[in-house]
Amino acid sequence: MRKLTPDSLAISEEPHPIGVFDSGIGGLTVAAALRQLLPGEDIFYIGDTARVPYGGKSATTIQRYSREISDLLLAESAKIIVVACNTASALGVPRLKETLHVPVIGVIQPGAEAAVRATQNGRIGVIGTRGTIASEAYQRAIYALDAKVTVSSQSCPILVPLIEEGWIDDPISDAVIERYLEKFVSNGIDTLVLGCTHYPLMREAIQRFVGPGITLVDSAANCALAVRDLLQEKGLFAPVNHRGNLRVAATDATDGFLRVAEKALGIDVGEVELRTVRGGS
Amino acid sequence: MRKLTPDSLAISEEPHPIGVFDSGIGGLTVAAALRQLLPGEDIFYIGDTARVPYGGKSATTIQRYSREISDLLLAESAKIIVVACNTASALGVPRLKETLHVPVIGVIQPGAEAAVRATQNGRIGVIGTRGTIASEAYQRAIYALDAKVTVSSQSCPILVPLIEEGWIDDPISDAVIERYLEKFVSNGIDTLVLGCTHYPLMREAIQRFVGPGITLVDSAANCALAVRDLLQEKGLFAPVNHRGNLRVAATDATDGFLRVAEKALGIDVGEVELRTVRGGS
């Protein structure tokens, strides 16, 4: 990544960060998992809060947004782009991989691999936004790994607003979870992929409804493991003994959900920087 | 609006439309009210579905989006701009009025006037998105009309996603309505402003919870009345005997909610045209 010239040596104290983006601040679940797993890495996180959510928008629009936000991360010298948003992973990652000069990793492939490892009866359920579910990206990734499993899926558009409202441990959320998930339980799945980076914040309520017999696959935690493997493979780890930090930016002033996420994740986000997206919208 | 030159005479068969915009397709409630009240008017409606919702975003961002979408309506030769979105009315209309060369009308002022007319005990409640409620635009408009009334307000972020999911007559929505509105009922309001253009679609469930003693003020219907008055005042009515039509555009491909809205409103939207917003985002 870095040439050893006198100029670059002068700034070599500052390692290149892992660039992470999400449509909003749900992807902080991925940032939190990365902080825990890779405390030596700097992380620059940006949420596209001016255009959140991505979940119901078209593939063309998601691809454009993903590229524009990635450019903001490259402007921060990101050494790798982590797409911490299932919708953008489903619809935007293939194009980003073709066009960017740094490695790109999404949350779909690591989640699919973890689900295939976890299932014992070969029946996997997937929940996510309308965009993620309509893309069938998890299904394709899972079938490519193991053609014998069966995958059923369900879009859950109300879960994100409930989480952002802070109604995380709440009878209304329990009723919504029951409405969306009851068919999975009767279908006999043994593994459920939380295919949206917001959902780990509601993990306990989901586990309570589906019962202990169903393994929840957290796409955030599995994405962090895949990032570690990729950094290792590419020789991109930060210098030993570097103490990593987390910087958070957004494309619009954020509201209370940031504090909900901070509290639920136990991370300190500090001051959020504002960035403007280049390009039309 | 139109000079009588040979060129313009050639196109004078085509009256200038009423331009209507919303962050998404909730503002179709305003378009439906306009169709009913002013069947001779052409309406060009655009929903900024590429960046929906506006409800949780900052004033600066809403002002920029409002201007960009208004420019799309001006490109369609709109004779008047109707801001059929409470958030954009609260945060964007003052700036638009200063800068555009056509009349601009929002939903806040007509709603505030209707609420002041309706209340008998001087206690008014307002519900809306986070952005609308935080702006206190309804409170200011109502106090300017009558300083003696008291206004209480509540943001209801989950209602729009519930409506867009089609859970309109549903026990989960009833529980959410109860959670948000119970304080109003115990506060003794006699008038409740539905300060979001989605909410008329859930009017029956809201009325059922608050009971017949509370008058609901529908900002969509009152906005249509204000548009009629403004067209009259400015001499901008379409020619007598013109049969109006409705064209609908969006900045991103729309999903199932459009059909929910069509069904609930009993209007035929037809083919939705795609438009790209100029300017950065």
The 10s digit of each residue's pLDDT in B31-48 is 999 999 999 999 999 999
Q: What are phi and psi of B259, to 5 degrees?
A: -70, -35
Q: What are phi and psi of B151, to 5 degrees?
A: -120, 125
Average model confidence (pLDDT) across chain B: 91
Window 59-78 of B: residues touching A by CB (8 A cutoff) are 60-61
Distance from CA of A131 to the nearest CA of B (A): 10
Query: What does the DSSP assignment read for B179-217?
Result: HHHHHHHHHT-SEEEE-STTGGGGHHHHHHHH-TTSEEE
What's residue A117's pLDDT? Answer: 97
Q: How confident is the model at residue B12 (pLDDT cuts 50, 70, 90)?
A: very low
Mean pLDDT over B177-195 rounds to 95
Does A172 sit within 8 Å of B176, measured CB to CB? yes
ipTM of the complex: 0.86
Q: Which residues of A are part of the catalytic machinery? A: 85, 196
Please indicate if any CB of chain B lies within 8 Å of the CB of A56: yes
Please indicate if any CB of chain A lies within 8 Å of the CB of B162: yes
Mean pLDDT over B116-120 rounds to 98
Residue A2 DSSP SS3 = coil
DSSP E strands in chain B: the ranges are 18-22, 43-47, 80-83, 104-105, 123-128, 150-155, 191-194, 215-218, 246-250, 272-274
Nearest CA in chain B to A178: B172
Residue B161 reports pLDDT greater than 80: yes
* Domain pair B13-106+222-274 / B108-219, same fold: yes
What's residue B277's pLDDT? Answer: 83
Nearest CA in chain A to B68: A281
Q: Which CATH class is domain A8-106+222-274?
A: alpha beta
Region of poorest pLDDT, from A114-123, B7-16, B17-26, B29-38: B7-16
Of A51, A272, A107, residue with least CA distance to B57: A51
Please indicate if any CB of chain B lies within 8 Å of the CB of A181: no
3-state helix, strand, coil in chain A (%, to 5): 45, 15, 35
Q: Nearest CB to B157: which of A51, A161, A281? A: A161
Which amino acid would we find at residue B32?
A
pLDDT in tens, B66-97: 999 999 999 999 999 999 999 999 999 999 99
Q: How confident is the model at residue B265 (pLDDT cuts 50, 70, 90)?
A: confident
Burial group, residue A73, by CB count within 10 angstroms (0-12, 13-18, 19+):
buried
Q: Which CATH class is domain B13-106+222-274?
A: alpha beta
- Assign domain A108-219 to its CATH architecture: 3-Layer(aba) Sandwich (3.40)
C-alpha to C-alpha distance for A49 and B51, rounded to whole angstroms: 10
- Token readout for A154 is 């369900």
Q: How confident is the model at residue B135 (pLDDT cuts 50, 70, 90)?
A: very high
Per-residue pLDDT tens digits of chain A, which is 281 residues long: 444 444 444 444 578 999 999 998 889 999 999 999 999 999 999 999 999 989 889 999 999 999 999 999 999 999 999 999 999 999 999 999 999 999 999 999 999 999 999 999 999 999 999 889 999 999 999 999 999 999 999 999 999 999 989 999 999 999 999 999 999 988 899 999 999 999 999 999 999 999 999 999 998 899 999 999 999 999 999 999 999 999 999 999 876 778 778 887 888 888 889 898 865 44
Number of Cβ within 10 Å of residue A68's Cβ equals 20
C-alpha to C-alpha distance for A181 and A221, rounded to whole angstroms: 22
What residues of chain A lie within 8 A of the CB of B278, using their CB?
A: 280
Distance from CA of A258 to the nearest CA of B (A): 12
Q: In what order do the strands lie in the sheet with B123-128?
A: B150-155, B123-128, B191-194, B215-218
pLDDT in tens, B206-255: 999 999 999 999 988 999 999 999 999 999 999 999 999 999 999 998 76
Residue B34 DSSP SS3 = helix
Q: Nearest CB to B280: which of A49, A175, A279? A: A279
Inter-residue contact A25 to A49 (CB < 8 Å): yes
Interface test mutation site (partner A, options B64, B158, B179, max chain A beta carbons within 10 A): B158
Which amino acid would we find at residue A96?
L
Inter-residue contact A131 to A160 (CB < 8 Å): no
What's residue B13's pLDDT? Answer: 59
C-alpha to C-alpha distance for B188 and A30, rounded to whole angstroms: 46
What residues of chain A lie within 8 A of the CB of B260, using their CB?
A: none
What's residue A14's pLDDT? Answer: 75
**What are the structural domain ranges in chain B?**
13-106+222-274, 108-219
What's residue A278's pLDDT? Answer: 61
